[in-house]
Amino acid sequence: MPQKTIRFTIRPDGRVEERVEGVAGEACQQLTEEVEAALGTVERQESTSEAFLQSEVQSQPLPAHLN
């Protein structure tokens, strides 16, 4: 399981940049929504390539009758 990391960069003008690593798909937004709400207004969001990956959890239907 990859490590989940949130990196923050605080700029001299007070802007905060946030980068999430090791999280695929929409889970990134769910992970950071509380922090972003506490920080204030989100001016811009950019998705990384990980945001377009699907979760590693996959399901496969089992046959109704196993021999």
Q: Which residue has the higher pLDDT, 63 or 9?
A: 9
How does 5-39 read in b/e, with b if 16+ C-beta sit within 10 Å?
eeeeeeeeeeeeeeebeebbeeebeeebeeeeeee
Rounded to a whole number, what is the distance in angstroms from the first to the last CA of the chain? 34
Q: Which residue has the higher pLDDT, 13 or 50?
A: 13
Phi, psi angle pair for 62, to nearest 5°: -90, 145
pTM as predicted = 0.61
Question: Where are the domains positioned within the chain?
Answer: 5-44
**pLDDT tens by residue, 32-64:** 888 888 888 888 888 777 777 766 555 556 666
**pLDDT tens by residue, 27-39:** 888 888 888 888 8
